[in-house]
Amino acid sequence: MKLYVVCAVLIVSLTEAKNPGLKTRITDAGLTYASQVAIEQLSKSVKGQKIPDQSGRSGDVSYELSNIVIDSFSNPSCGITVTADGLNWKADGLGLSINGHFHYKYHGIIPISDGGNIDVSVSGVNFNVGISLGVDGTGRPKIASSGCSCSIGSVGVHFHGGAAWIYNLFKGVVEDALKKQLNGQLCTIINKAVNTDASQSLAKLKVTVDIAKMFMLDYRFIGRPAFNTGHFLETYHKGEIYWTNSMTEAPFDPPSMPQISSTTKMFYISMSDYVFNTLAYEAQIHKMLEYNLTQKDLPAKEKDFLNTTCVGTPCIGQVIPQIGKKYPNRQVTMFMSSDFSPNMSVSNGKVNVLCGGTINMLTVQGDLFLLTLNATMTASVALNVKREKIYGSISEMKLKLHVVKSNVGQISDTVLNFIANTAIIAFAEPQLNKLGAKGIPLPVTDNVHFINTEVTLNKDTLMIGTDLQYQ
Ligand SMILES: *[C@@H]1O[C@H](CO)[C@@H](O)[C@H](O)[C@H]1NC(C)=O
Ligand SMILES: *[C@@H]1O[C@H](CO)[C@@H](O)[C@H](O)[C@H]1NC(C)=O
Ligand SMILES: *[C@@H]1O[C@H](CO)[C@@H](O)[C@H](O)[C@H]1NC(C)=O
Ligand SMILES: *[C@@H]1O[C@H](CO)[C@@H](O)[C@H](O)[C@H]1NC(C)=O
């Protein structure tokens, strides 16, 4: 039993020791914004809140209050700060105005009974809520209130209609009753805002995202967030892309990512090479990186490039005359396959991709073997972020070919480079750009949008710094 516990602890600490594939940081500026958004949400849920009917007696007067509704909310000064194990949301100087109806009975020598409307102004409302943030068993974030306290500065009741001398007999009692009622009710509303509203909003966070129906991007939390008291909050995510139908781990680990040192934006996301490399790995082992290039794949102006006979426009039979001579009036298919998982790495401010593969050329008519080529492709990729998705496009692509086997004699490198640039890059670049244009969605909820977004490249890491806008 003891050994089991030791092993379990070891396993847990081993898994936690793995670097995250992706991490986020919410800065002070982000929390200030979050607090404004939270107050706006709170203001919406407070406005229109009904306060239960009240009744009481003060000396010779008994009263009843009914239809009491909070009809305005004035913003307090507020802030969210990071504590050792969560957040603290504090607001000072909140004001409320309340409307209602009153009725009283004066049980004096001459009984009087009357009623009318009341206006109540409440000022100096302060509250302080502890918020605990954690992760549930499925890697989703959890939020809960860990305690709310509230105090009410002053409550002033103004009666409309009737005789002031009677109101003065029970005004103080009404004010005290309302103060007591509000004190309890505000924390109930705030706790609900955290435990229900914020919690439901977090539950909508995309922690797994489907990509092209074949891949699954895993943004699950791999551990508790880190709380840097007074400064920021960091969350750590798996950041791995799986093959949806067989979720096995990639045989390599995420690299360590540099610290996020910038603090001017509200929110930072650091995404490591790992996210892209696990995608490339899954694509490779599931044979997604194979393609048979035929005439129909070529751009219009290169359409006839795979012909073995041509006049005017260059074709493969003209570029490699040996092919044209040996097998005239045919078309060629290039069977292309990747030999290893393409590798992406960010270094020296550039995103570099390396791919390597084999190209077999055969004639379409008769399946006659022509050539086997070895291809190595290097590319630089420009990355950018738009609408909470990250997109890539090839900014520079180089392809090196060399002959591994030939059925048509010796072929020079110049010729091969011509083929590389005419057919393969002309085909591959738009294909890869199409893929890059699909975009990888970043882990945010649907109602949060990125503004003033900046992308920075660090070692093995793509860092996105952004301000947020809540809608
Ligand atoms: C390419 O063609 C070969 C032979 O016809 C076939 O076995 C293979 O499945 C094709 N590959 C793709 C990706 O279409
Ligand atoms: C290339 O081959 C296709 C189909 O065999 C043919 O229609 C086309 O005319 C050829 N192009 C040239 C320039 O000969
Ligand atoms: C990708 O290439 C870099 C640099 O060559 C290397 O350090 C890294 O291990 C490679 N990553 C994978 C997943 O193959
Ligand atoms: C293909 O080229 C790469 C890089 O030049 C080399 O490492 C590899 O061994 C070559 N493969 C074959 C089959 O020639």
Residues 61 and 197 in one domain: yes
Residues 73 and 195 in one domain: yes
Question: Is 231 contained in some domain?
Answer: no
From atom 8 of ligand 1, which residue's Cα is the shortest distance away?
292
> 292: how many CB neighbours lie within 10 A of its CB?
12
The dihedral formed by the CA atoms of 405, 409, 410 and 413, expressed in degrees to the nearest 10:
-70
Write down the pLDDT at residue 138: 86
Give the tens place of pLDDT for each residue, 128-139: 999 999 998 889
Give the tens place of pLDDT for each residue, 24-36: 999 999 999 999 9
Question: Is 255 contained in some domain?
Answer: no
Residues 78 and 181 in one domain: yes
From atom 12 of ligand 3, which residue's Cα is the shortest distance away?
343
Question: Which mutation among 285, 345, 347, 351 tests ligand 3's pocket best, with the greatest number of atoms within 8 A of CB?
Answer: 345
Question: Sheet containing 22-26: which strands, arranged edge to edge?
Answer: 226-228, 232-237, 22-26, 267-272, 461-470, 448-458
Write down the pLDDT at residue 277: 95
Residues 435 and 292 in one domain: yes
Write down the pLDDT at residue 119: 93
Read off the tokens for 10.
Answer: 């070891």
Name the pTM for this structure.
0.84
Q: How confident is the model at residue 8 (pLDDT cuts 50, 70, 90)?
A: very low
| φ, ψ for residue 139, nearest 5 deg | 80, 15
Residues 196 and 112 in one domain: yes
pLDDT at 276 over 70: yes
For range 266-294, the mean pLDDT: 93
Residues 142 and 57 in one domain: yes
The bound ligand whose nearest atom lies closest to the alpha carbon of 352 is 3
How far are the Cα atoms of 8, 12, 161, 222, 224 from residue 5, in angstroms, in the given order? 5, 10, 74, 20, 21
Write down the pLDDT at residue 381: 92
Q: Is the CB of 376 under 6 A from ligand 4?
A: yes
Q: How confident is the model at residue 50 (pLDDT cuts 50, 70, 90)?
A: very high
Strand partners, 241: 217
Q: Is the CB of 446 under 6 A from ligand 1?
A: no
For range 293-299, the mean pLDDT: 87
Q: How far is the CA of 343 from the centre of ligand 3 (A)?
A: 6
pLDDT at 252 over 70: yes
Residues 295 and 192 in one domain: no
pLDDT at 6 over 50: no
Give the tens place of pLDDT for each residue, 73-114: 999 999 999 998 899 999 999 999 999 999 999 888 889 888
CA–CA gap between residue 464 and residue 452 (Å, rounded): 10
Residues 294 and 400 in one domain: yes
CATH of the domain at 401: 3.15.20.10
Question: Is 116 contained in some domain?
Answer: yes
Can you spell out the DSSP letters for 289-306? SEEEE-GGGS-GGGTTTT
Print the domain residue range for 366. 278-442
For range 387-394, the mean pLDDT: 90
Question: Is 60 contained in some domain?
Answer: yes
Residues 282 and 396 in one domain: yes
Question: Is 228 contained in some domain?
Answer: no
Question: Is 196 contained in some domain?
Answer: yes
Write down the pLDDT at residue 43: 93
pLDDT at 284 over 90: yes
Please give the tally of structural domains in the chain.
2
CA–CA gap between residue 422 and residue 249 (Å, rounded): 38
**Under a CB-based contact definition with an 8 Å cutoff, are residues 145 and 190 in contact?**
yes
Q: How far is the CA of 355 from the centre of ligand 3 (A)?
A: 11
Q: Choose one of 171, 203, 235: the last residue of a domain.
A: 203
Q: How confident is the model at residue 14 (pLDDT cuts 50, 70, 90)?
A: very low
Q: Which atom of ligand 1 is nearest to the CA of 290?
A: 13
In this structure, of 118-122, 341-345, 362-366, the range with the lowest mean pLDDT score is: 362-366
pLDDT at 11 over 50: no
Percent of the chain with pLDDT over 90: 62
pLDDT at 12 over 60: no
Amino acid at 456: T
How far are the Cα atoms of 30, 32, 106, 212 from residue 266, in angstroms, in the given order? 4, 9, 59, 31
Amino acid at 460: D
Write down the pLDDT at residue 263: 85
The bound ligand whose nearest atom lies closest to the alpha carbon of 354 is 3
Percent of the chain with pLDDT over 70: 96
> 207: how many CB neighbours lie within 10 A of its CB?
19
CA–CA gap between residue 405 and residue 76 (Å, rounded): 77
How far are the Cα atoms of 253, 348, 374 from residue 344, in angstroms, in the given order? 14, 13, 20
Helix (H) or strand (E) holding 273: helix 273-285
Contacts of 2 (CB under 8 A, 6+ apart): none
Three-state DSSP class for 137?
Answer: coil
Q: Choose one of 151, 175, 203: the last residue of a domain.
A: 203
Write down the pLDDT at residue 438: 84
Write down the pLDDT at residue 17: 61
| Position with higher pLDDT, 435 vs 234 | 234
Give the up-direction half-sphere exposure of residue 17: CA atoms within 13 A in the CB hemisphere.
6
Contacts of 255 (CB under 8 A, 6+ apart): 19, 272, 273, 274, 460
| Position with higher pLDDT, 34 vs 206 | 34
| Position with higher pLDDT, 334 vs 5 | 334
Contacts of 202 (CB under 8 A, 6+ apart): 140, 141, 142, 143, 445
Question: Is 135 contained in some domain?
Answer: yes
Can you spell out the DSSP letters for 169-235? HHHHHHHHHHHHHHHHHHHHHHHHIIIIIIHHHHHTS-SEEEETTTEEEE--B-SPPEEETTTEEEE
